[in-house]
């Protein structure tokens, strides 16, 4: 059984056991900075008792050392690999200027915070002290601000102070605050320091300094509380000796964190400032007992440190520390009448007692924490092993062509299925997040408004976020609205005259009907062709967007249902190739569709086309479709209520009787009427037997073909061409040109692109430059982590056996 346990059985209260442990620790905690103070008093009964134990506990002390080193290594690993392990640590807490930083320096055995102007601690400083007998001069390294790496050692104390100051200044400037919870991490290796991790915190203040935000005191308080809350941390609470416990400003805050002071060590600092007030023994003893303010079992330490701030050597600094300890004791023993109750209080007086206590307390905590640490280590080890195995298979998979072909085909096929579902209508992923309004589609596609249409086209449901098949259908509708919103543009008198006269000149000209038809054809070609192109591009945009959604759906089903779906995560080259192939597929479809619908346009505007002379009524689009394309969005504004609602005024676009439309063209008497009206009319009647939609006008024409009548006729032809084009061919051509191939040809197209290549070319998708190196590096660092964790684990296993 270890010495600590033996002592503990002699004591009832945990706190007094800790103090006894501290007193006994001299025999086995041989930190080189130990003062000779306790050796000098080896005649005391406590020390004699310890001496008897000394032989017996040689083995225990070596196991303490082993435990210490095991934790030390674990701590290094935890810091280096960002492992969150509840390793026992010490947090120094207290009011401003109560001496926290000075205590840290004394523990470290050298002064590192020497500055001309005291700034006060503004960021927590995690000080990892590593006892290294080979480091005769202190080696201080700072952990880089946002990395696990440590800087090269800084040897000079002023450089250490400057680093702390500049890091503090830089961060506070950035955060524009007076304090920051982001710690500075400093690792100090030194032959004269113990193995200890201690966190220095900003001192509590009552009021913000001038120029600092008002909230600074609360910020410091809450930051320190959060640093002190983890139960594996020991709190060292400092309060100056000049302050009475009854008027302590911060004791209640400490009680909030640790109500029974179970893990709190109370330190009365600057004890030298109080000494002169004692003349009688009872005064000292009353003071040292803390007058019961801290409870029966909590007994503070009384510490004084050198106040001389002149630059001295590190050795001299340590000597001064020991000397102050001796002076304090000497004063209490000789300058106070009757001395003081040494049996009761001596073990609490002086820095060296505190230091020994902290070391032994930490040892004790290490020991207590060992089983939990061991369990955690076992868990972390097996986790890291699993990570390493999966990394190994990832690396192996990068060179296994057959495996890669199989999994990438499965992936591509899964993406195609998702694309199909999205086209057929799906609600996953969330349309509100992934869908787009018509306006967003227009803006993001960069295609802009419909060519030749000045009014904004607002299709039903334009404000809803749609994707896939629904968005496709909405664009189709928008396209129809756009085409119906244009009219046959007015044609100049010169143009009309040029056509009619040319026909007349050729002898047996084709008449005004043919002239009007030609004007309408030309107008349809020049106005509808760009709109058809735009429709194809807008539809292609809707389909191109589906790729990300399909990936998301695939990922989602992967995560949600834990199905064996291949994710191909990390294969950036393959993902890029798949996306490129899909985009090219859609691009080609768009190109093909453009050609196809252009062909339809050519056909309806051909001079061989009978369309202009057909009498079959074409059910206007608005009547055929208006009830099918439901308006589902909520209309709030007057304008939106009107958005292409299938009524007489607006739907679709502006479908009006061409004759009415024509009324908008100002009718002026034609000064350029063909001189031989009868010729034209006669010729027309003679040559053209075709039924004409403008027969009703023939009487007018007969009586005189005016410019306005030709325009009217052209406008009728234009409307006819447009309706035939949209209703009979383009709608179905776009549907079958885009959607059918997406359902039926996509997988084959992707397959040919990605897999119909030789192995060497195929593997190009999987050997992105540096990708394997990244995997290898990750593997190496995992291996390192595994090795260190395993070493820690076996160390802790052997420690466990000696507990
Ligand atoms: N007389 C005397 N002065 C001390 C003692 N310990 C520290 N001081 C002085 O008290 C002042 C404040 O000490 P620090 O260690 O900076 O106090 P702190 O708690 O770290 O201060 P903040 O970080 O600002 O909260 C310094 O000028 C020290 O030299 C001591 O034991 N006796």
| Tens-digit pLDDT profile for residues 179-222 | 888 888 888 888 888 878 899 999 998 888 887 888 889 989 99
* Residues 382, 386: Cα–Cα separation, whole Å: 6
More confident residue, 671 or 71: 71
Ligand 1 atom closest to residue 201's alpha carbon, by position in its atom list: 23
List pLDDT tens digits, range 147-181: 667 788 887 888 888 888 889 989 988 888 888 88
Ligand 1 atom closest to residue 309's alpha carbon, by position in its atom list: 29
More confident residue, 74 or 379: 379
| pLDDT reported for residue 660 | 37
Strands (E), 192-309: 196-200, 233-240, 264-269, 301-302
- Do β-strands 125-131 and 196-200 pair in parallel, antiparallel, or remain unpaired? antiparallel
Residue 545 pLDDT greater than 90, yes or no: yes
* Count of C-beta atoms within a 10 Å radius of residue 548: 13
> Cα of 97 to ligand 1 centre, how many Å?
5
| pLDDT reported for residue 213 | 82
Q: Which residues pair with 267 in a beta bridge?
A: 238, 301
Residue 613 pLDDT greater than 70, yes or no: no
> Cα of 107 to ligand 1 centre, how many Å?
14
> Cα of 294 to ligand 1 centre, how many Å?
23
Residue 450 pLDDT greater than 70, yes or no: yes
* Residues 52, 730: Cα–Cα separation, whole Å: 105
| pLDDT reported for residue 607 | 78
Ligand 1 atom closest to residue 102's alpha carbon, by position in its atom list: 15
Given ligand 1 and candidates 95, 97, 309, which is best to mutate, with the most ligand atoms within 8 Å of its CB?
A: 97
More confident residue, 760 or 747: 747
> Cα of 232 to ligand 1 centre, how many Å?
27
List pLDDT tens digits, range 430-440: 999 999 999 99
| pLDDT reported for residue 181 | 86
Nearest CA to ligand 1 atom 7: 99
* Residues 325, 327: Cα–Cα separation, whole Å: 6
pLDDT bracket for residue 80 (50, 70, 90)? low
Ligand 1 atom closest to residue 121's alpha carbon, by position in its atom list: 23
Residue 7 pLDDT greater than 80, yes or no: no
List pLDDT tens digits, range 469-513: 999 999 999 999 999 988 777 778 887 778 777 766 655 445 677
Given ligand 1 and candidates 95, 96, 102, which is best to mutate, with the most ligand atoms within 8 Å of its CB?
A: 102
| pLDDT reported for residue 214 | 86
pLDDT bracket for residue 237 (50, 70, 90)? very high
Q: Which residues pair with 466 in a beta bridge?
A: 436
Nearest CA to ligand 1 atom 6: 99
Which has the minimum average pLDDT: 214-223, 281-290, 392-401, 410-419?
Answer: 392-401
> Cα of 490 to ligand 1 centre, how many Å?
93
422 near 582, Cβ under 8 Å?
Answer: no
Ligand 1 atom closest to residue 94's alpha carbon, by position in its atom list: 19
* Residues 81, 75: Cα–Cα separation, whole Å: 10
- For residue 714, give the nearest of 451, 454, 487, 508 by alpha carbon: 487
Given ligand 1 and candidates 92, 96, 98, 99, which is best to mutate, with the most ligand atoms within 8 Å of its CB?
A: 99
Ligand 1 atom closest to residue 105's alpha carbon, by position in its atom list: 15
Nearest CA to ligand 1 atom 14: 99
> Cα of 306 to ligand 1 centre, how many Å?
10
Q: What is the mean pLDDT of the chain?
A: 76
List pLDDT tens digits, range 353-370: 999 999 888 888 887 887
Given ligand 1 and candidates 250, 301, 307, which is best to mutate, with the most ligand atoms within 8 Å of its CB?
A: 307
* Residues 49, 367: Cα–Cα separation, whole Å: 23
List pLDDT tens digits, range 555-580: 877 655 544 556 677 788 899 999 99
Ligand 1 atom closest to residue 273's alpha carbon, by position in its atom list: 1
> Cα of 30 to ligand 1 centre, how many Å?
27
Residue 115 pLDDT greater than 80, yes or no: no
Ligand 1 atom closest to residue 304's alpha carbon, by position in its atom list: 31
Residue range 279-285: mean pLDDT, rounded: 92
Which has the minimum average pLDDT: 39-43, 169-173, 268-272, 356-360?
Answer: 39-43
Nearest CA to ligand 1 atom 21: 97
254 near 295, Cβ under 8 Å?
Answer: no
Ligand 1 atom closest to residue 238's alpha carbon, by position in its atom list: 19
* Residues 264, 15: Cα–Cα separation, whole Å: 10
Buried b / exposed e along 62-86 (16+ C-beta atoms within 10 A): ebbbebbebbbebbbbbbbbebebe
Ligand 1 atom closest to residue 113's alpha carbon, by position in its atom list: 16
Nearest CA to ligand 1 atom 11: 97
Nearest CA to ligand 1 atom 5: 270
| pLDDT reported for residue 150 | 77
DSSP designation for 154:
B
DSSP designation for 676:
-
Q: Which residues contact 90 (CB under 8 A, 6 or more apart)?
A: 196, 197, 198, 199, 233, 234, 235, 236, 358, 362
| pLDDT reported for residue 621 | 45
How many residues make up the chain in this entry?
Answer: 803
| pLDDT reported for residue 234 | 92
Helix (H) or strand (E) holding 142: strand 139-142
Helix (H) or strand (E) holding 94: strand 89-94
Nearest CA to ligand 1 atom 32: 270
List pLDDT tens digits, range 19-32: 333 333 332 333 33
More confident residue, 292 or 96: 96
> Cα of 305 to ligand 1 centre, how many Å?
9
Tally the C-alpha atoms within 13 A of residue 150's C-alpha that lie toward its C-beta: 18
Nearest CA to ligand 1 atom 13: 99
Provide the ipTM.
0.98
More confident residue, 80 or 287: 287
More confident residue, 722 or 668: 722
DSSP-based three-state secondary structure for 583: helix
List pLDDT tens digits, range 648-668: 333 343 333 333 333 333 332
pLDDT > 70 in the chain, percent:
73
Ligand 1 atom closest to residue 324's alpha carbon, by position in its atom list: 31
Phi, psi at 47, each rounded to 5°: -65, -35
> Cα of 741 to ligand 1 centre, how many Å?
80
| Ligand 1 pocket residues where CB is under 6 Å | 94, 96-102, 120-121, 203, 269-270, 272-273, 304-305, 307
Residue 690 pLDDT greater than 70, yes or no: no
> Cα of 101 to ligand 1 centre, how many Å?
7
> Cα of 229 to ligand 1 centre, how many Å?
25
Residue 49 pLDDT greater than 80, yes or no: no
| pLDDT reported for residue 655 | 36
> Cα of 37 to ligand 1 centre, how many Å?
23
> Cα of 356 to ligand 1 centre, how many Å?
21
């Amino acid at each position: 059984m270890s010495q600590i346990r033996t002592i503990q059985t002699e004591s009832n209260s945990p706190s007094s056991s800790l103090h006894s442990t501290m007193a006994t620790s001299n025999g086995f905690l041989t930190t080189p900075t130990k003062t000779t103070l306790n050796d000098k008093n080896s005649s005391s009964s406590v020390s004699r008792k310890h001496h008897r134990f000394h032989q017996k506990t040689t083995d225990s002390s070596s196991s303490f050392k082993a435990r210490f080193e095991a934790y030390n290594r674990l701590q290094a690993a935890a810091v280096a690999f960002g492992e969150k392990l509840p390793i026992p640590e010490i947090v120094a807490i207290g009011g401003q200027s109560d001496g926290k930083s000075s205590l840290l320096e004394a523990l470290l055995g050298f002064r590192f915070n020497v500055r001309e102007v005291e700034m006060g601690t503004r960021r927590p400083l995690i000080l990892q002290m590593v006892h290294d007998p080979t480091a005769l001069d202190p080696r201080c390294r700072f952990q880089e601000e946002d990395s696990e790496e440590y800087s090269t050692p800084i040897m000079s104390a002023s450089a250490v102070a400057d680093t702390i100051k500049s890091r503090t200044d830089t961060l506070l400037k950035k955060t524009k605050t007076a304090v920051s919870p982001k710690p500075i991490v400093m690792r100090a290796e030194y032959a004269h320091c113990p193995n200890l991790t201690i966190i220095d915190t900003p001192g509590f203040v009552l009021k913000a300094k001038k120029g600092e935000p008002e909230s600074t005191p609360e910020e410091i308080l809450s930051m320190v509380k959060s640093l002190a809350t983890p139960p594996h941390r020991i709190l060292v609470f400092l309060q100056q000796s000049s302050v009475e416990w009854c008027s302590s400003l911060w004791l209640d805050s400490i009680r909030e964190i640790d109500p029974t002071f179970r893990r709190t060590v109370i330190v009365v600092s600057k004890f030298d400032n109080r000494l002169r007030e004692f003349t009688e023994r009872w005064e000292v003893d009353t003071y040292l007992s803390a007058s019961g303010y801290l409870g029966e079992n909590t007994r503070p330490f009384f510490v004084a440190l050198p106040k001389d701030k002149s630059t001295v050597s590190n050795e001299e600094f340590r000597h001064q520390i020991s000397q102050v300890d001796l002076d304090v004791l000497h004063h209490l023993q000789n300058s106070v009448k009757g001395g003081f109750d040494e049996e009761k209080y001596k073990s609490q007086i002086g820095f060296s007692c505190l230091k020994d206590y902290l070391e032994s307390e930490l040892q004790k905590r290490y020991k207590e924490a060992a089983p939990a640490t061991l369990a955690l280590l076992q868990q972390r080890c097996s986790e890291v092993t699993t990570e390493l195995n999966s990394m190994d298979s990832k690396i192996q998979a990068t060179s296994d062509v057959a495996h890669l072909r199989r999994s990438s085909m499965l992936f591509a096929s899964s993406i195609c299925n998702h694309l199909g579902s999205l086209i057929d209508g799906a609600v996953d992923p969330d349309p509100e997040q992934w869908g787009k309004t018509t306006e967003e589609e227009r803006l993001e596609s960069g295609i802009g408004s419909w060519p030749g249409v000045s009014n904004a086209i607002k299709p039903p449901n334009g404000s809803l976020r749609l994707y896939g098949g629904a968005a496709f259908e909405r664009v189709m509708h928008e396209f129809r609205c756009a085409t119906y919103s244009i009219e046959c543009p007015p044609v100049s008198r010169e143009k009309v005259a040029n056509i009619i006269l040319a026909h007349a000149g050729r002898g047996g000209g084709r008449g005004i009907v043919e002239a009007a038809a030609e004007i309408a054809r030309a107008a349809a070609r020049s106005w509808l062709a760009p709109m058809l192109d735009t429709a194809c591009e807008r539809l292609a945009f809707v389909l191109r967007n589906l790729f990300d959604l399909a990936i998301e759906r695939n990922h989602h089903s992967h995560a949600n249902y834990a199905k064996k779906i291949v994710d191909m995560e990390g294969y950036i080259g393959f993902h890029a190739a798949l996306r490129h192939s899909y985009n090219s597929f859609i691009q080609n479809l768009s190109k093909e569709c453009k050609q196809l619908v252009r062909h339809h346009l050519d056909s309806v505007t051909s001079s061989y086309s009978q369309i202009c002379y057909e009498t079959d009524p074409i059910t206007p689009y608005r009547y055929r479709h208006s009830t099918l394309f439901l308006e589902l969005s909520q209309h709030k504004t007057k304008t939106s209520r009107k958005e292409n609602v299938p009524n007489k005024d607006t739907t679709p676009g502006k479908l009006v009787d061409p004759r009415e439309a024509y009324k908008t063209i100002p009718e002026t008497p034609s000064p350029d009427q063909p001189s031989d009206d009868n010729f034209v009319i006669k010729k027309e009647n003679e040559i053209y037997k075709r039924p004409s939609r403008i027969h009703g006008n023939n009487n007018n024409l007969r009586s005189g073909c005016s410019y306005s009548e030709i325009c009217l006729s052209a406008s009728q032809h234009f409307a006819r061409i447009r309706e035939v084009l949209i209703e009979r061919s383009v709608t179905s051509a776009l549907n079958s040109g885009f959607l059918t191939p997406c359902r039926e040809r996509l997988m084959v197209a992707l397959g040919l692109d990605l897999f119909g290549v030789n192995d060497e070319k195929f593997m190009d998708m999987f050997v992105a430059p540096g990708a394997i190196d990244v995997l290898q590096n990750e593997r190496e660092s995992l291996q390192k982590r595994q090795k260190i964790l395993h070493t820690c684990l076996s160390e802790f296993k052997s420690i466990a056996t000696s507990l």
